[in-house]
Amino acid sequence: TIGKDSVIAPNLTTCHESSELDIHVYCCPPKNGSDLTVFDFRFPDPSNPLRVRRPTHLLDDNYIAKYNEALTIMKSLPYSDPRSFSRQADLHCLYCTGAYYQQNSRTPLNIHRSWLFFPWHRMMLHFHERILGSLIGDDTFALPFWPWDIPEGMLMPEMYLNSSFFDKERDISHFPPTVVDLDYRCSFSESTCPERGLTPDEQVNANLAFMYNQMVSGAKKTELFMGCHYKAGEEGLCDGPGTIETAPHNTLHRWVGSSLNSPAREDMGVFYSAARDPIFYPHHANIDRLWEVWRGFHMDNDITDPDWLDSFFYFYDEKSQFTRVKIRDVLDITKLRYSFEKVDVPWLNARP
């Protein structure tokens, strides 16, 4: 085994059938042909261009065509290829259903509902973005973000209703012009959930006030924003998501997912299938952006606990190299060679 006892890491040989809400799933990588030679993470070359993530409402047709091409190629790759879209989706499934045990115990590893949430999803998106770029030979390619926290972004982005971005497993009553409800109350045990019935203006204002609460007044302490300190083994287990993870993160998963033929509001409404919907990625790019926005307000509050910094996970990069990444590797997005286009955040002045 590698690493200290208190850091979180998966034991790769323990991948097994897992479940979420009594739905049994198997998302382990194929046993044959998976090369498990491990590479340690290395930062992209500092002379690489910055990939600038832009908001979905400001994308031009050229960019959308390029992204569509990359995603179409990714979807056409066979399951045996770790860069394929279905393998990317199952990667999320693996880490969110406890398909791996932790390295020194029989405790299932789960990256939701704790301080693992932000860094793990940042890693997933970083590799996803690098793979998409390499499939079209464009090292400036950046994922877009869906800025549902600002009025311009409070509809399901138009582009995700078309071409390779579409997914039929969504709630069509939430297609535009329905304004998103960032505080959508729809627990994991119910598939049909009440709508608030606000007018579009009322909903936008309710969303802004809600964002103020999740980003500012309700997230003054690091733990409130980042989630509880999940550490290795049985004793380290905790179940306490940060403000943004609870909502809008979880609430929008439920809001996007299908309410018709899917008992758990698949695809987006339940974690094992969430990343099968292409909208998962701009949704998480926005979460990733909000982490940076929050850090901007709390410069001195970065977590310094080595158990968190040294926790690690595995991802395939664009060369299909199986890479071990520590949380400390992903805390500086400039070193990862990406950035976010700045947008104004009116919720900052929306104190209720």
Q: Which residues are catalytic?
A: 92, 112, 121, 249, 253, 271, 284
249 binds ligand C2O (CB under 6 A): yes
Q: What are the strands, taking DSSP E only, across the chain?
A: 10-11, 18-20, 23-25, 38-40, 51-53, 101-102, 312-316, 322-326, 338-340
What token pair was written down for 292? 């940076």
Binding mask 119-158 for ligand C2O (x = CB under 6 A): --x-------------------------------------
Could you tell me what percentage of the chain is helix, strand and coil, using 3-state DSSP and rounding each to the nearest 5? 40, 10, 50
Got the DSSP string for 186-210?
--TT-SS-------HHHHHHHHHHH
> In the window 298-317, what residues touch ligand C2O (CB under 6 A)?
none
What residues pair up with 25 in beta bridges, in sequence order? Answer: 18
The SS3 call for residue 213 is helix
CB atoms within 10 A of CB 33: 9
The correct pick among 57, 83, 112, 122 for binding ligand C2O (CB under 6 A) is: 112
User: In terms of CB distance, is 119 or 133 closer to ligand C2O?
Assistant: 119
Residue 70 and residue 141 in contact, taking contact as beta carbons nearer than 8 Å = yes
Is 113 a binding residue for ligand C2O by CB under 6 A? The answer is no
According to CB under 6 A, which one of 253, 265, 276, 337 is a site residue for ligand C2O?
Answer: 253
Output 130 or 284, the one with its CB closest to ligand C2O: 284
Q: How far is the CB of 273 from ligand C2O (least distance, A)?
A: 11
Q: Which is nearer to ligand C2O, 118 or 308 (CB)?
A: 118
# residues near ligand C2O by CB under 6 A: 9
**Nearest-angstrom CA–CA distance, 256 and 270:** 10
Binding of residue 281 to ligand C2O (CB under 6 A): no
Three-state secondary structure call for residue 64: helix
Residue nearest to ligand C2O (CB): 96
DSSP annotation of 137? T
How many other CB atoms sit within 10 Å of the CB of residue 275? 26
Residues 57-96 that bind ligand C2O (CB under 6 A): 92, 96
Residue 271 makes contact with ligand C2O by CB under 6 A: yes
Of the candidate residues 25, 150, 155, 274, the single one contacting ligand C2O (CB under 6 A): 274
In whole angstroms, how close is the CB of 197 to ligand C2O at the nearest point? Answer: 26
Q: Could you list the residues that contact ligand C2O (CB under 6 A)?
A: 92, 96, 112, 121, 249, 253, 271, 274, 284
